[in-house]
Amino acid sequence: MREQVIPSLVESWYQILGAYQQSHPEITCQCLEVVGAYVSWIDLNLIANDRFVNLLLSQMSVEDLREEACDCLFEIVNKGMDPTDKTKLVESSEEDVDFLAKFSRLVNGMGQSLVLSWTKLAKGGDVKAAAEALRALETKVPLLLQLLVHDDDDISANIVGFCYDYLNILKQ
């Protein structure tokens, strides 16, 4: 099934995401949820490619789609990619400053959301959930550092909020 049907399924997702993003954003959001749910068990090359990722990044600028597009990209980067693939995705796009600028904003948003979650959980006394949020946060630090030292100021500037929030956690 994975070899025969999944590529067709991924192509269908791509077509749905492109065709309905303006006319039916609710369908597009549902499709983004499905992509995020399936990304962990399909061949990542079907989704983690320029064509698919650029479509997802363009949807981040559409107000009705940006949250689901961000979640979907988060799933691609977080669940579905091993560290080597993650690095390759970032490095393969280093020529595309626009991509990395959007990607760094995505990582910044994910990091700041995790910091906020950790803060609320820690203040609420939920030690176990706070520890899980902190572990999830710490897995983003290598990516944070890789983007922070990028030569392009736009890319490194986009990640400063996450960096600042993370440093505040370390101080605590």
pLDDT in tens, the chain (172 residues): 667 889 999 999 999 999 999 999 999 999 999 998 888 778 878 887 878 888 887 887 788 888 788 778 877 776 656 666 666 655 555 556 666 777 788 889 888 988 999 999 999 999 999 999 899 889 889 889 989 998 889 889 999 999 999 999 999 8
Domain match, 118 and 154 both: yes
In this structure, what token pair is assigned to residue 38? 């399936």
Shared-domain flag, residues 66 and 1: yes
The reply to whether 128 and 165 lie within a common domain is yes
Domain that holds residue 100: 93-172
Same domain for 46 and 70? yes
Whether 1 is in a domain gets the answer: yes
104 and 147 Cβ atoms separated by less than 8 Å: yes
